[in-house]
Amino acid sequence: MRLMIAMLTLALYTGTPAAAQQWYSGGTLHNKTALDWQVADSHDKLATCGDFIAKVWEGGSFKEEIQDKIHGVDDMRPYAVELVAFLDAATKKESNKRRNTQMYANQTVSDLATAGMVMMGWVNVKQ
């Protein structure tokens, strides 16, 4: 099963046409800033979060109760949806454009996603 997830993840990163119709394909925000997240479409956000969830699961870094619940990409979707909601809240646009830029230009989506998974208690944190 882990091999299948790894293959699906590889397909996500290579952008194969077969995967193009799936919820987990087409994520482009991995190395972007919170400003990019603010203007991204919902599919890109969900696919990017799906990639983050898959990577953590493949690394065996989720807490056991979550790690054991995931058996395929469909099991990852609820976590990806929740992570999108977390990131949307964490990057809520400021009405003042200058202040918004100051607040979010140096925050990366990947760092915020990692922080979100820690704050939600999903991952094992090494002391």
Q: pLDDT, tens digit, for every residue of 37-68?
A: 999 999 999 999 999 999 999 999 999 999 99
Helix (H, G, I), strand (E, B) or coil at 18: helix
Q: Please give the residue that has the higher pLDDT: either 8 or 116.
A: 116
Span 88-105, pLDDT tens digits: 999 999 999 999 999 999
* pLDDT for position 21: 56
* Tokens at 108, concatenated: 């990366």
pLDDT at 119 over 50: yes
DSSP class of 31: T
pTM of the model: 0.82
Half-sphere exposure of 12 (CA within 13 A, CB side): 26
DSSP of 35-96, one letter per residue?
HHHHHS-HHHHHHHHHHHHHHHHHTT-B-HHHHTT--SHHHHHHHHHHHHHHHHHHTPPPSS
* pLDDT for position 124: 85
* pLDDT for position 126: 77
* pLDDT for position 2: 47
Instruction: Give the pLDDT band (50/70/90) at residue 107.
Output: very high
* pLDDT for position 103: 96
